[in-house]
Amino acid sequence: MTDNTPRELEHVVIIGSGPAGWTAAVYAARAQLEPLVFEGAGSRTMIPGGQLMFTTEVENYPGFKEGITGPELMMEMRAQAQRFGTRIVTEDIAEVDFQQYPFVLKSSRGKEVRAEAVILATGANAKWIGLPNEERLAQSGGGVSACAVCDGALPAFRNKVLAVVGGGDSAMEDAIYLTKFAKEVVIIHRRDEFRASRIMAERALADEKIRVEWNKVVTEVLGDDVITGLRLQDTVTGAASELSVDGLFVAIGHQPNTAFLGDQVALKPNGYVEMSVPWRTNTSVPGVFACGDVMDDYYKQAISAAGTGCMAALDAERWLAHGGAEAHVSGKEEVAVR
């Protein structure tokens, strides 16, 4: 049985446990870096394994011709990482200190861990409307999703009436994408004009399969085992109405899980980790790397997250092998990026 107790000094600590985190762990473990993964303690909207833990069928991850459920895929990745000796702690990292070296990480239960290199793979939380039945049906696979590209092509949504909540570019992109499969797509927006760029808004409005419910908010998601409709409220008149739909896609954005970092790492204005070197996973702190949705505000797919997890592990391995740690200790931060 693997001893998951943190050691006096870890070579690599991976924070997060989605496709990026587990892929990084597989590569780091096979490189004999003996990675320690803090997979997270879980919360109401995020559990160890990331957003795929709330996804029923995954049909676009290579290698599974019949598809695989999100939780199954994550459990397989987790087991693969363990097979090579990855150690796992089911806690969050609540605080980091990257000003001193080795780096110091503090867990939600008070553990203090020192590490030569750190890989950030904490992902991003999809923003939900916040309705109880919305969250229940999203977790049970009842026709509610926050990723149209991930789920829109599933048989359950084909030739059906689908709703998209949102008014930005993401909502327009999701609505247009869903027209490939849906009978009709209804965009629900709280205002009388979109926040999206003009070209995206015009493209959506010109599509004959798309119609818009202006000045409306969703107040209730209807349905027991699967979604059957939405209860709406007019933001101008206050009038209530119901809309029959067979699927709901929430497209009001994502929130990267970076709050615990404080000001220790440079972030983009939208809160995602800023990458300091093009086509690398280096952050603003030498020896700290980032992968997956915590640094990707564009693709946000399981396969791209896994790819950057591989990159982060290789970058960490090479940084350590080429004297990164020694340079950090001596104050020489001009370590070659290879």
**Rounded-to-integer distance, Cα 278 and Cα 157, Å:** 38
Q: How far, in Å, are 103, 284, 323, 327 from residue 266 at the CA level?
A: 16, 6, 23, 21
Tokens of residue 131, six digits: 């309705």
Instruction: Identify whether the C-beta of residue 146 lies closer than 8 Å to the C-beta of residue 316.
Output: no
Q: How far apart are CA 288 and CA 320, in angstroms?
A: 11
Does residue 120 contact residue 18 with C-beta atoms inside 8 Å? no
Query: What is d(CA 19, CA 298) in angstroms, rounded to the nearest whole number?
Result: 16
| Cα 294 to Cα 71: distance, rounded to the nearest angstrom | 20
- Number of helical H runs and strand E runs in the chain: 8, 19
Helix H segments across 84-117?
none
Which among 204, 216, 213, 143 is positioned nearest to 179, based on CA atoms?
204
Cα-Cα-Cα-Cα dihedral of 19, 20, 24, 25, to 10°?
A: -40
Burial 18-44, CB ≥16 within 10 A → b, else e? bbbbbbbbbbbbebebebbbbbbbeee
Residues involved in catalysis: 147, 150-151
The answer to whether the CB of 229 falls within 8 A of the CB of 242 is yes
Q: Helix, strand, coil % (nearest 5) of the chain?
A: 30, 25, 45
